[in-house]
Every structure is written in structure tokens, then in C-alpha cells.
Amino acid sequence: MGPAGRISRTAMLIFRQLADPTSSTYTYLLGDKETGDAILIDPVYDQVLRDAALVEELDLWLKWTVDTHVHADHVTGAWVHRKRAKSQIAFSQASGAEGADRYLGQGDRIPFGGRFLEVRATPGHTDGCITLVLDDRSMAFTGDCVLIRGCGRTDFQQGDPRTMFRSVHSQIFTLPDECVLYPGHDYRGLTATSVTEEKHFNPRLREGIGEEDFAGYMKNLGLPHPKQIDVAVPANLRCGQPEGREEPAAQTWAPLTLTFAGIHELHPVFLEERLDDVQVVDVREAAEWSGPLGHIRSAKFIPLADLAQRAAELDRNRPVVTVCRSGARSAQAVVILQRGGFERVANLAGGMILWRALGLAATGAQK
């Protein structure tokens, strides 16, 4: 509690750090608990469905996506999020990206609910790099400027070590010492640092290291170019609008929801409409199958423990919906069938309990 019994502003913040293991990129979700307005920093194209599921499950509204720069190693999810959630795209003016809803410059504020991020121009990795500072300066998102005990490379796009050195000293090391820094990448799985730690322990940037020393260090990193650079840069200059590649989509055979847990779910009402087109597998125990909740007329009965061995009894060319009492064991049934090579498989949300609560027909059910 803050003064006068108010909940402090930081307590009202929802904050999640999300990783893309392929590119070692971090995406950050920030939300205002009170209004539900949320922002995604550096969303990744390949993770759009996962991140959208989290936004949904936390009951947030995605208002903005902001990219810290035109990435060279992965495609941004900004364009696909805008299409799905009607979020707005923000990019820095200096990025050169086309098709954004807002172009940012030094000192601009991006609001989400009662909170905001402040823009600081931190060129050096690219011309358009920005650092985003939370309103109370407790956190900053440094993109590919300051990394944990490192920094973004300066040997492609418009990279320039002297420019980066000045950005770090004038825009990041001037933040409060305790300000927690969240980088755009970490290649060792480290998650966060702070201004004071980097001032003391960053081998390229700690106190006492001059611009010349830094430039000498950066010219000798000897890193191979990112594998995706030829695809990623042009796509990111279009805010991630796909060209000749499919947009990420949940399976399309039914109105499925993909959960943050990674399971496709089908609402009972949609299953009832499609009972003739899908195979329903009930994975409960025998006593439950013939118990008071009853079972779905067309369901095939295979207890969860037998599912892996008996999967061959199911037709791989027809979608499968798994069912249990509450929707828990049947979620694991989805995983087991996917492991067995089934591509179109979903869990019945809420299991037989929700099915019956909605008044849907069940064979052998007790009223």
C-alpha cells in the first residue's frame, strides 16, 4: 500500500516476460489492471497465437504493439496482432518501417490505461532503435541497445559503435541505478539486469571504458550474420505484414480457441453442431462412462491410460475431440494424440460437466 491506503501504481501493473526460443527474443506484455489496456513490446510473428491467448486469458485488451527496432533475426507479430485484435502499431520515426499507426520520437508517450511508456532514442544497433521507459522509471526495455553484460551488435543495418556508446551513456545510464533493464534478447537465458549492474559489470560499457575502447571491442565481435536477415528486414519494414507466407492461424476445422497452455479447445455448443463430422473420444474410466453424467451418443470410449496404444482405432483423416469429466484428462489426451501424429485434435472445454450444465443430450445420463 502506498500513501493514504492507495494501491501503489506498480501494484496495478500486469507484467510478463515471454521468450521466443528460436531467436532468443524477449517479448514483454504490460497491462493496466484497472482498465485492462495492454501493450506488447517486440511481439514475435511465430508466437502471435500464444501471446494472443495470454492477453485473452488475463482479460486484457491489446491496444498497442511497439517494436524497439527493425529486427534482423525474426519477423515482428505487430501486423498480425493488429489484424486479429485491432491493436495499433507503433514504430520509431527513424525506423523506416511503413504502415504503422503511429511514429515515435524522443520523449513521446505511449499510453495504456493509466500508465505509459516513454520513448528514448537509442540508435547504434540500428538508426531507429528506441528504449521504452515505464512512467515511474522502475523498468526500461532496451531492445538491442544494452543487453545483459553485453549490447546489440553494430556491424549491419545502420550499426555504429560510437552512436551506440553515446546512446547508452546519455539515455540509459542516466536512468535511476535501481531501474530494471529488460533486453530484446539474451542468448544464455538470462532475463533482466539493472542500470547499476551494467555500469559496474558490463565488460564493454562499465565505468572507465571510453568510446574508443568500446568501438575497438565492437569491431571485433566476429559474429555470423543472423540466418533470417534477408527475410526479416524486408518483412519488418512492412510492420510484419506477410508476403507469400501464411498467417498464423489456429486449426480451422472448427471455431477453436488456442490456450496459453498450448491446447486447442472447442466449446460444447460448437461440438454439438459438428457431432457428425468429428470423432469424439471419451477418455474417462469405465465406471464414469456408464455413470450418472452419461456420455455423448457418438463417442468412442478409450480410457486415457490406453489411448497411446489404441490410437490406431481412430481415423487420422477426421478431426478428433477428446472428452472427460472436467476437461483436464482430455487435455492430456490431446497431447498424447498429437504426439501420435494426429494434426486436427481439440479438447472439449469443461468436459461432460459443462456439456450437461448446458443441457446437451447425454446417453445414460441421470436427470
Ligand X SMILES: N[C@@H](CCC(=O)N[C@@H](CS)C(=O)NCC(=O)O)C(=O)O
Q: What does the binding site for ligand X look like in residue numbers (CB under 6 A)? A: 23, 71-73, 144, 150, 152-153, 185, 187, 223, 226-228
8 A C-beta contact, residue 110 and residue 37? no
Task: Give the count of residues interacting with Fe ion (CB under 5 A).
Answer: 2
CB of residue 197 to ligand X, shortest distance in Å? 17
Neighbours of 252 (CB within 10 A): 8
C-alpha closest to that of 64 among 47, 36, 39: 39
- Residue 153 touches which of Fe ion, ligand X, none (CB < 5 to 8 A by kind)? ligand X
Q: How far is the CB of 69 from Fe ion (least distance, A)?
A: 6
As a whole number of angstroms, the distance between CA 139 and CA 133 comes to: 6
Smallest separation (angstroms) from Fe ion to the CB of 124: 11
Our CB check for Fe ion shows the closer of 73 and 282 to be 73
Q: Which residue is nearest to Fe ion (CB)?
A: 144
Nearer to Fe ion, 74 or 356 (CB): 74
Of residues 104 and 307, the one with the C-beta less far from Fe ion: 104
Q: How far apart are CA 275 and CA 182, in angstroms?
A: 48
Q: Which C-beta is closer to ligand X: that of 96 or that of 291?
A: 96
Q: Which is nearer to ligand X, 216 or 255 (CB)?
A: 216
End-to-end CA distance of the chain: 50
Cβ nearer to Fe ion, comparing 161 with 350: 161
SS3 141: strand
Binding at 92: pick from Fe ion, ligand X, none (beta carbon under 5-8 Å per type):
none
Neighbours of 354 (CB within 10 A): 16
The entry of ligand X, Fe ion, none that residue 150 binds, CB within 5 to 8 Å by partner kind: ligand X
Binding mask 63-102 for Fe ion (x = CB under 5 A): --------x-------------------------------
Nearest-CA neighbor of 49 among 256, 205, 200, 188?
256
Q: Does the footprint of Fe ion cover residue 20 (CB under 5 A)?
A: no
Question: Rounded to 10 degrees, what is the CA torsion of 166, 171, 175, 180?
Answer: -90
Place of cell 507484467: 15
Note whether 307 and 333 are within 8 A (CB): yes
Per CB under 5 A, contacts with Fe ion among 143-182 are: 144
Q: CB 64 → Fe ion: shortest distance, Å?
A: 20
Instruction: Compute the least distance from the CB of residue 23 to ligand X, in Å.
Output: 6
Least separation in angstroms between residue 166's CB and ligand X is 18
The CA distance from 319 to 343, in Å, is 8
For Fe ion, give the closer residue by CB, 32 or 186: 186
* Least distance to ligand X, CB of residue 69, Å: 8
Q: How far is the CB of 119 from Fe ion (least distance, A)?
A: 17
The grid cell for 358 is 448446458
Q: Per CB under 5 A, which of residues 123..142 are in contact with Fe ion?
A: none
Q: Could you give the CA distance from residue 72 to residue 235 in angstroms, rounded to a whole number?
A: 10
φ/ψ region of 187 (left if φ > 0, alpha if ψ in -120 to 50, else beta) reads alpha
Angle at 57 between CA 51 and CA 62, to 5 degrees: 55
223 binds, among Fe ion, ligand X, none (CB under 5 to 8 A by kind): ligand X
Nearest Cα to Cα of residue 123 among 157, 173, 75, 80: 157
Binding residues (CB under 5 A) for Fe ion: these are: 71, 144
